Amino acid sequence: MPALTSIGRIKADIEVDNVKGENISIYVVPDDVQSIDLIFGRTWLDLPHIAYTKIGKRVHFGYREDELFRNFPIDEKVNPLCLKRLDTAQSESESLHVKDTSQQKMMGNLANDLKMVKNELRLLQGDIKNFKEERQSLLLQIQKKNKNVDNLKSINDSLVKTNSYYDKNKSGKVSLRKGDIVAVRRKPNTTGESTKTQPRYRGPMFVTQVRPSDTYIISQLEPRNDRNYTTIVHVSQLKAWRSWNEDDDDFSTNSHNEPEIQRSKRTVRKPLRYGDFMPDK
């Protein structure tokens, strides 16, 4: 077979033995320079399961197990069909063309990749900026929350300190004995007017019996209208009696502060006894 010179190159989809190939590069040669319809490469013809034979003016290719090759003898010494090398100048030109096309495609891909990377970097920078802003906002919220917590803690500590001071200085427990003179808190009269001018305690009363749970039975020291007032009260409703001659703001009718039970921090007076009000015999 004489040397073939390609008149050009095309790309087409080819199907051979149910095997399809897409966008295959094909060299085009004049139709009258070849004796067969197709030209196959040497590598494919050298496969052991491929056979070919010439019947008349036609060369048949196929698998050795096909019926065609079982009915006709196959000459194992038939030279494989091949093409000679194209002209060097044309081959180099085609190679340069292919190389140039590949480089252009590669450069285009690199440009697209670079553009995509730039966009991703821009988005990433925006995400970092947003992250910094969100982080700063979160830190401010945390600082504000911590400040509120500190303020609440300070207020709570102040309340605890105040309550502790009050409990220590104002909450002394009164301990009474039988015969002690006391005053008992009275309920205000509901007259529709202000109760600030009404006396808050009544007395003098004296303890007649000490009961459990800080309760006492008290009786009126001087019965009125031949009636003796007796009741059971809790210690929180009692106040140690003071002499009427003393200036006691707790019994003033104009006092705006509620009288308090005698506390442990105040000057301790010896409680008046029932016998102090009885004439000497």
Q: By the 8 A CB rule, do 34 and 1 touch?
A: yes
Q: How confident is the model at residue 196 (pLDDT cuts 50, 70, 90)?
A: confident
Work out whether the CA dihedral 188, 189, 190, 194 comes out positive or negative. Answer: negative
Give the pLDDT confidence score for residue 81 in this predicted structure.
47
Report the helix count and the strand count for the chain, using DSSP H and E.
3, 9
- Supply the DSSP symbol for 236: G
Task: Give mean pLDDT, residues 169-175.
Answer: 60
- Rounded-to-integer distance, Cα 78 and Cα 205, Å: 145
Task: Give mean pLDDT, residues 101-111.
Answer: 75
Q: How confident is the model at residue 255 (pLDDT cuts 50, 70, 90)?
A: very low
Question: Does the pLDDT of residue 235 top 60, yes or no?
Answer: yes
For the entire predicted model, the pTM comes to 0.29
- Provide the residue count of the chain: 281
Q: For 53, list phi and psi in degrees, rounded to 5.
A: -150, 155
* Domain spans in the chain, listed from the N-terminal domain onward: 8-63, 103-168, 180-244+269-275
Q: By the 8 A CB rule, do 253 and 161 touch?
A: no
Q: By the 8 A CB rule, do 179 and 239 touch?
A: no
More confident residue, 262 or 275: 275
Could you identify the residue written with the tokens 């009275």? 186
Give the pLDDT confidence score for residue 211 in this predicted structure.
84
Predicted confidence (pLDDT) per residue in 257-266, tens digit? 444 444 445 4
260 Cβ neighbours under 8 A, 6+ residues apart:
170, 239, 250
- Rounded-to-integer distance, Cα 185 and Cα 239, Å: 8
Give the residue among 279, 201, 270, 265 at the shortest CA–CA distance from 237.
201
Dihedral-angle region of residue 17 (phi above 0 means left; psi in -120 to 50 means alpha; beta otherwise): left
Give the pLDDT confidence score for residue 176 in this predicted structure.
79
DSSP 45-104: HTSTTEEEEEETTEEEEEETTSHHHHHS---TTPPPP--PPPPHHHHHHHHHHHHHHHHH
Give the residue among 22, 66, 59, 64 at the shortest CA–CA distance from 38.
59
Task: Give mean pLDDT, residues 207-222.
Answer: 83
210 Cβ neighbours under 8 A, 6+ residues apart:
176, 177, 178, 216
Question: Does the pLDDT of residue 124 top 50, yes or no?
Answer: yes
Locate 276 and state its tokens: 């102090």
Which of the residue ranges 49-53, 73-77, 108-112, 265-269 has the most confident prediction, judged by mean pLDDT?
Answer: 108-112
